[in-house]
Amino acid sequence: MTRIDAKFAELKAVGKKAFVSYIMAGDPDYDTSLEVVKGLPGAGVDIIELGLPFTDPMADGPTIQLAGQRALESGMTLERTLQLATEFREEDDTTPIVLMGYYNPIYNHGVDQFLTDAKAAGIDGLIVVDLPPEEDEELCIPAQAAGLNFIRLATPTTDDKRLPKVMQNTSGFVYYVSITGITGAAEAQAVDVAPEVARIQAASNLPVIVGFGINTPEKSKAIAKVADGAVVGSAIVSKIASGTPVPEVLDFVRGLADGAHQG
């Protein structure tokens, strides 16, 4: 059982939904992002998604793209991202960390070496948005063998024919992208999300967490009511981008987390 599995079991036992937060590692610099990450569990975050900066983030909207650019300009690399996770683990050995990004930096690092290093750094799961199920031999299956969850995205265009293929080697949870398009581009609507979540739950037997387009405690609560939890990324990254002091960023996160936990 990974930390992710344990977290969902713990939440289920007390009837709570999950709140997942995304931040870009190294945005706007290493020390600030480490301070934010260290503060997330205390702000109510159940699972941390740690963005891996990449030069060509095709699934991301301007907010996350710019965060990645700032991180890269500040000297962030895959190695330093894993170092950040390692430093976090010195104080917190229970909060799950999911590394979210693209395959190119992992491929360049070497898959076997990456999995060894990620496991040592305390990474619990991977979301690699540009590796479809047809490429499972590349990373998904080796990652699962190494004890890491491989979390897949499902979208409004993942039809009933495609869904079993998407779910076949998925573990931990399923990340349902509530809108068609890039991150930060539109707002999620619970009425639209509910039937899709039920369809994916039936196909996977895994928790379904909904992301994209959630930016207020009210939306976080509404989405969590119809799913197993909510994930917020762009709204938090926007606060960091605006130069909001870390304590105020964490206060904003706390409001979102409280919303999800009331779902």
Active-site residue 130, yes or no?
no
- d(CA 67, CA 73) in angstroms, rounded, equals 10
5, 60, 196, 228: the catalytic one is: 60
- d(CA 13, CA 26) in angstroms, rounded, equals 35
- d(CA 71, CA 194) in angstroms, rounded, equals 35
Instruction: State which H helix or E strand residue 145 sits in.
Output: helix 140-145
Q: Tell me which residue has tokens 């998604």.
A: 49
CA-based end-to-end distance of the chain = 26
46, 49, 124, 136: the catalytic one is: 49
3 state SS of 48: strand
- d(CA 123, CA 98) in angstroms, rounded, equals 6
- d(CA 156, CA 4) in angstroms, rounded, equals 25
Active-site residue 56, yes or no?
no
Token digits of residue 137:
């031999």
- d(CA 99, CA 108) in angstroms, rounded, equals 16
Residues involved in catalysis: 49, 60
